[in-house]
Amino acid sequence: MSSPVKIAVVIPAFNEQQSIATVVAAVNDISTTEVTIIPVVVNDCSKDNTKKIISGLNCIPLNLPINLGIGGAVQTGIKYAFDNGFDYAVQIDGDGQHPPQRIPDLMRELQKNNWDVVIGSRFINNEGFQSTIMRRTGIRYFQFLLKLITGETVTDPTSGMRMMNRKAMELLYEYYPDEYPEPEALIIYNRNGLKFGEMPVHMVERQGGVSSIQGFGTIYYMFKVTIAIIFTYLRK
């Protein structure tokens, strides 16, 4: 029998003391003898009890000494996965929005299509939590921008539920955006010849914590990501 496939589930956590234990338990539940699934929790210098909680959980705890933002935290987990010989790394949110039960499906979809990255999308079947009208408008704008630049259609460019193989991990090891990395990462894949695609995933509303994108942050978010997308495209 060949050795089991190893998947690292990177869970960035910033002040997620309410939901982190549930998410980690759900990830551990789906680990089997053929597919070893290990939660890697990246505590982004949380101010609450996240650090204490994760040290008692069945997971790999990575505690950042300073707050790096979601991108820096996810990249830490990707570095861990790559350095420790994991076959795949999957990123899910620490607030319980993404169903870990779909991780084996993501892997099958990735292998079936020979992709380097697979993205879980809320908008293929329009199931589950669909976010607010404002956010969907923003998402449609990113769709348009990405289509314009890459020619590819991505229905859910801001989705944080993604699985990548070692080729993609190696690429993101070098560079991954600090803030709001999701749409920008798609351009990085595209510019470096990585193949990616989407599969439908049913998401739920966040179970704890607050979104990093609201109020004035929204304007900054749109502006920052637009600039980042254009310049990432021009870089190579």
Partner 1 sequence: MGRIQFISIAVSLLFLGYVLGQIKKGRLREEYAFIWILSTFALILFSFWRNGFEVLAQAFGVIAPPNLIFTAAIFAILVYLLHLSLSASKMHAQNKTLAQEIALLKEKLDKLNPK
* Residue pair 60/151 in contact by the 8 Å Cβ criterion: no
Residue 62, interface with partner 1 (CB under 8 A)? yes
Residue 66, interface with partner 1 (CB under 8 A)? yes
Residue 25, interface with partner 1 (CB under 8 A)? no
Shortest distance (Å) from residue 188 CB to partner 1: 16
Shortest distance (Å) from residue 179 CB to partner 1: 11
| Nearer of residues 54 and 146 to partner 1, judged by Cβ | 54
Among 64, 149, 213, 222, interactor with partner 1 by CB under 8 A:
64
Stretch that binds partner 1, among 2-10, 68-76, 87-95, 142-150 (CB under 8 A): 68-76
Stretch that binds partner 1, among 9-17, 75-83, 152-160, 161-169 (CB under 8 A): 75-83
Site residues for partner 1, 167-226, by CB under 8 A, read 178
SS (H, E, C) the chain: CCCCEEEEEEEEECCCCCCHHHHHHHHHHCCCCCEEEEEEEEECCCCCCHHHHHHCCCCEEEECCCCCHHHHHHHHHHHHHHHCCCCEEEECCCCCCCCHHHHHHHHHHHHHHCCCEEEEECCCCCCECCCCHHHHHHHHHHHHHHHHHHCCCCCCCCCCCEEEEHHHHHHHHHCCCCCCHHHHHHHHHHHCCCCEEEEECCECCCCCCCCCCCCHHHHHHHHHHHHHHHHHHHHC
Stretch that binds partner 1, among 66-74, 107-115, 149-157, 183-191 (CB under 8 A): 66-74
Residue 122, interface with partner 1 (CB under 8 A)? no
Residue 65, interface with partner 1 (CB under 8 A)? yes
Give the interface with partner 1 as residue ranges (CB under 8 A).
42, 60-66, 68, 72, 75-76, 79-80, 83, 178
